Structure 1
Amino acid sequence: MERWVLLRKGADFEAISKKFHISPRLASLIRNRDVIGDEAINQYLNGTIAELYDGMQMKGMPQAVETLTEKIRDREKIRVIGDYDCDGINATYILLEGLEKLGAKVDSDIPDRIKDGYGLNQHLIDRAHEDGIDTIITCDNGIAAAKEIEYGKALGMTIIVTDHHEVPYKENEVGRRYILPPADAVVDPRQEGCEYPFKGLCGAAVAYKLVEALCEANGQDVEDLDYLLENVAIATVADVMDLTEENRILVKQGLEMLKRTSNLGLRALIQCIGLEGKKIQAYHIGFILAPCLNASGKLDTAKRALALLRAKTEREADMLAGDLKALNESRRDMTDRVVDEAMAKVEQTDIRGDKVLVIYLPDCHESLAGLVAGRVRENYYRPVFVLTDSEDGVKGSGRSIESYSMYEELTGCGDLLTKFGGHPMAAGLSIDKENVEKFKRRLNDQCTLSEEELTEKVVIDMELPFTAITEHFIEELEYLEPFGKGNTKPVFAARGVFMQHVKIIGKNKNVAKATAIDAAGNRMEAICFHDAQEFAKQCERNNGKMSITFYPGINEFRGERQIQIVITHYR
């Protein structure tokens, strides 16, 4: 059973309303997102790229800029080594574009998920060395590759790390000892002693900060790089970073640029997946566009997605966009099958009672493990790891819940793992097969999650009478966009609502439509996409009366506009 919690955060909403020319209700919604004080509210509502922080504040950035300036001047061969997910692909693209603008001799390499695994490895370094590469720049990886970087340095290579992942550490009697790789420069806002004010950037944003700083140092117009903000926005949303402070500005600006993108590959993909002419929002990136870019790294090679971003002709762009769409459809079908298998394993074995679900599916394609873990987590509201056989042992991916830091918990199992890395909410690992059972037990033995923490919480912003739902209020809610992690879509609630004329619609009979009547007798058209059949049953069981959470919108059909609410939860 979900826990419904009504937020009650106080402030002088009338004063905020007058100062920023918004309604008191909107002021309350902004306060609920922990945006406090005039400066923060102004940045939230009106922030522009002029207010972004200077990348040179990042620890390691001056050294990276100085080193790369020398390498560009001396015409040394530079190789960008990215990651095979959407963030890594966009980070690689950003570095290639920025370095080429400065006249660098630069190419790229992206590891193969199956053959190479995640991040920098000896094989990639050997390949670069054989190709006569002088300098490697990592992006969206490298912070955990101390051994590999030591190997590259022994070959006489210059190595610069740009990353955003947690810095590996070991616990000792004094506390934590952080382990930085022995690179010529390490640029990662999460490292100790980094004074950059915002720590929540994705890998592509860190890469953007580097090319921006490089351009400034070399007398180039930084505005020439503004078009890369659309790639930063895609990567930020795809990597599920918090849409707060600087990320909010980056995504807001990037979405504006995406509307009129001049990138042939992105234009072709937007057309291919049916988003042309639509108002592209963070939702569309997260659930439609980014999965197509990610599918290449999961089932084929991420180099195909990079080739799309770098496409020079419309014909090439159209062909690659079609390939990625087909790959994503194949990935979706495969994922559905494996999710069913994972759910059956939870229901039919003793792991059902575990606080941390460790599901071993030997035949699962390793690229799908994270997606499957995410879907299982949604169903059971538990941290979930999905493990599968790979060429060299067992690999896995995890997806977490708010009160459980995956990276920290994996650190507590470090002696059982051959490799691991990630964030509080998502992580990847490699493990020997004989340690799988021990890993499962250790995670559960050291888990301190309470039953309350294992119950999904529905956080309600405010009770909203139907009379307050006007076109003006719905338009005003757009000030809060883009929505995503850290800046969630507002949740409104109404109790004692009577549902009338409930019917199931849609090609797949998966949408419920009804007329909602609130306690004061006001009517509103309502629609429910979440388990429509169950919603209809609940309405019948309770004689149509229930409490609901919802979000208001405008339904446009055949030129007519009608206010409606989308029901998100009910009871």
Structure 2
Amino acid sequence: MEKWVVSAKRADFEQLANKFGIDPVIARLIRNRDQITDREIDRYLHGKLTELHSWKLLKDMDRLLDILEEKIREQKKIRIIGDYDIDGVCSTYILLQGLKRAGAVADVDIPDRMKDGYGISFELINLAKEAGADTIITCDNGISAIEQIAYAKELGMTVLVTDHHEIPYEEQADGSIRTFLPKADAIVNPKQEDCPYPFKGICGGMVAFKVICGLYDRLGISVKETEKLLPFAAIATVGDVMDLTDENRILVREGLRRLQNPENEGLKALIRVNNLENREITAYHIGFVIGPCMNASGRLSTAKRALRLLLSEDTGEAAVLAEDLKALNDSRKDMTAKGVEQAVEQVEHTELLQDRVLVIYLPDCHESLAGIIAGRIRERYTRPAFVLTKGTEGVKGSGRSIEAYHMFQELVKCKDLLTKFGGHPMAAGLSLPEENVELFRKKLNENCTLTPEDMVEKIVIDVPMPMSYVTIPLVRQLSQLEPFGKGNTKPVFAQKKIRFADCRIFGKNRNVVKMQGKDEAGFSADCIWFGDGDAFLEKIREKEYWDVIYYPSINAFRGRESLEMVIQNIR
């Protein structure tokens, strides 16, 4: 089931259109994205790199840079410890390239997802010590490693934390919150309570980028040189699904511009192997093509393979490494599809179908795929979903949620059944003894307060707009709203009572339908549908008129441009 609702935020759209030289529809879309003041709208449309927030606003940054400068002067060995996801790999790359350019003796270690688990571990600290490292700097992890960092300090090491995750906390008996910070020599994380940094929604790659901006500034290295690192901070931001608002929007837009023709051999090879050469690379391609290839190495092998690709300076080597990552991702896709199939089978043929919170146990599933499968199940059933797998030490799993269900808070209520858990409103990770799986499922559902209304997918329509209003200049203006992603979603347009005629199916998989969409006034537009062509044709034979959700695009064929409406939903 779907519920269509129209976004009804008010403003003087004509006046805004005149002031900013845009169509009133574009003004309405910008207002729907909560850009209200003239300053916000101008920054949204024309934000420049000079408007990124200064690194100087991050708490403890000066202290961290003092220490780094001293270590570089004394040529002390610095070990960077990153994380195995796309944000972790990119932030590791940014720190390594930046520190080396600044003359540091630096190397890298990244945890193994299966062996080490997330973040800095006792073993990684021992390995750093044995290798003669004087200093550890973390990126995209470290804020919750209280015991591990205390151990590194006991060994006499300097520890610097750069991270963006939530500060660990505990609720006290009186309802107050007590936070915990590791005893590191310096911590740079915008989520610290007294950090004056104005925008908290940056990823680990962006925090690392700010560290290098500060270091270059201190050492008199040209600010131009930080621009080489922009594409990596942009990939990390999109890959870690941060909101594309505020400075993230500026950063990703500028990073994408440089990704059209990257200097980095590894990125060039990854773009080539995914057939994206000579195509405009968008945030979509990072999120669904390039990013998953980089993530696959941390899921099914070691994230060091993705880092090696980014560090490669040889075209031939980069091509081989990129082929490897693509092959890994293809096998990850096959394994995911199989896992989703088994999960659906379980839901459809057991009492799970009656549950409002789905807990699916797939003992043989690769544990790194649990989160992806949970996400697909959540989309299919519009319910919170946990997928659990059998690990060496009990059961491990991941959950993905819907807006009305705060996953982390619900796990807190079940903490007596869990050995370990962490997360936020929309996603979580957990481990528990196998004998508690069924109890966990029961307790989550007993505590659940979701109503049928909560479990209906809402589609928010930005503008009810007749197709006859669309022009090629309007579609061109829509590109000013990019990059699209979380926090800046692709606009949604709708029109009532459309009749489809002249339908033709194309593609070897019969997954493209081209047709004419005619409205009540007799206006006709070229329309296209992507998906199961035969099922679509069967559906539209059911009745004459349909309400449609669509997105206008420009079809360029043999040098001629024409409008084409991409049909996304019908009812």
**Cα separation, 2, equivalents of 1:426 and 1:259:** 32
User: Could you tell me whether the CA contact under 8 Å between 2:140 and 2:165 is conserved in 1?
Assistant: yes
User: Could you tell me whether the CA contact under 8 Å between 1:546 and 1:570 is conserved in 2?
Assistant: yes
User: Could you tell me whether the CA contact under 8 Å between 1:351 and 1:357 is conserved in 2?
Assistant: yes
User: Could you tell me whether the CA contact under 8 Å between 1:399 and 1:426 is conserved in 2?
Assistant: yes
Q: Give 1:276-355 correspondences, 5 Å limit.
A: 276-355=277-356
Q: How many residues align?
A: 570
**Cα separation, 2, equivalents of 1:211 and 1:407:** 33
Moved more, 166-175 or 31-40: 166-175
The aligned residue for residue 272 of structure 2 is 271
**Cα separation, 2, equivalents of 1:31 and 1:332:** 38
- Please state if 1:466 is matched with 2:470: no
Q: Give 1:441-456 correspondences, 5 Å limit.
A: 441-456=442-457
Counterpart amino acid of 2:105?
A: K
- Please state if 1:123 is matched with 2:118: no
**Cα separation, 2, equivalents of 1:560 and 1:332:** 37
The aligned residue for residue 183 of structure 1 is 184
CA RMSD, Structure 1 to Structure 2 (Å):
1.5
Counterpart amino acid of 1:71?
A: K
The alpha carbon displacement at 1:425 in A equals 2.4
The alpha carbon displacement at 1:423 in A equals 3.6
TM-score by length of 1: 0.97
User: Could you tell me whether the CA contact under 8 Å between 1:144 and 1:421 is conserved in 2?
Assistant: no
**Cα separation, 1, equivalents of 2:192 and 2:438:** 33
Counterpart amino acid of 2:530?
A: F
Q: 1:161 aligns to what SS in structure 2?
A: strand
- Please state if 1:38 is matched with 2:34: no
Q: 1:243 aligns to what SS in structure 2?
A: coil
The aligned residue for residue 86 of structure 1 is 86
User: Could you tell me whether the CA contact under 8 Å between 1:530 and 1:568 is conserved in 2?
Assistant: no
**Cα separation, 2, equivalents of 1:222 and 1:557:** 42
The aligned residue for residue 416 of structure 1 is 417
The alpha carbon displacement at 1:422 in A equals 3.4
Counterpart amino acid of 2:324?
A: D
Q: Which runs of 5+ in 1 are unaligned?
A: none
Q: 1:453 aligns to what SS in structure 2?
A: helix
- Please state if 1:214 is matched with 2:220: no
The aligned residue for residue 226 of structure 1 is 227
User: Could you tell me whether the CA contact under 8 Å between 1:503 and 1:536 is conserved in 2?
Assistant: no
**Cα separation, 2, equivalents of 1:160 and 1:412:** 34
Moved more, 525-534 or 344-353: 525-534
Gap change, CA 1:73 and 1:446, over 3 Å in 2: farther
User: Could you tell me whether the CA contact under 8 Å between 2:362 and 2:388 is conserved in 1?
Assistant: yes
**Cα separation, 2, equivalents of 1:550 and 1:236:** 28
**Cα separation, 2, equivalents of 1:431 and 1:534:** 42
The alpha carbon displacement at 1:288 in A equals 0.8
Output one character per residue of 1:91-133: Cα deviation in whole Å (capped at 9) or x when no partner: 1000101111111111011111111111111111111111111
User: Could you tell me whether the CA contact under 8 Å between 1:495 and 1:519 is conserved in 2?
Assistant: no
User: Could you tell me whether the CA contact under 8 Å between 1:166 and 1:421 is conserved in 2?
Assistant: no
The aligned residue for residue 76 of structure 2 is 76
- Please state if 1:491 is matched with 2:503: no
**Cα separation, 2, equivalents of 1:308 and 1:357:** 38
Q: 1:493 aligns to what SS in structure 2?
A: strand
**Cα separation, 1, equivalents of 2:163 and 2:527:** 45
**Cα separation, 1, equivalents of 2:264 and 2:313:** 9
**Cα separation, 2, equivalents of 1:62 and 1:426:** 33
Gap change, CA 1:492 and 1:36, over 3 Å in 2: same
Counterpart amino acid of 2:281?
A: I
Output one character per residue of 1:497-529: Cα deviation in whole Å (capped at 9) or x when no partner: 001122332211222222110121111111122
User: Could you tell me whether the CA contact under 8 Å between 2:510 and 2:532 is conserved in 1?
Assistant: no
**Cα separation, 2, equivalents of 1:294 and 1:122:** 24
Counterpart amino acid of 1:495?
A: K
Output one character per residue of 1:221-276: Cα deviation in whole Å (capped at 9) or x when no partner: 22211111101111111111111111101100000011121001001111111001
Output one character per residue of 1:343-386: Cα deviation in whole Å (capped at 9) or x when no partner: 11111222222222121111001111111111111111112121
**Cα separation, 2, equivalents of 1:533 and 1:400:** 32
User: Could you tell me whether the CA contact under 8 Å between 2:401 and 2:425 is conserved in 1?
Assistant: yes
The alpha carbon displacement at 1:549 in A equals 0.3
The aligned residue for residue 537 of structure 1 is 538
- Please state if 1:259 is matched with 2:256: no
Moved more, 306-315 or 434-443: 434-443
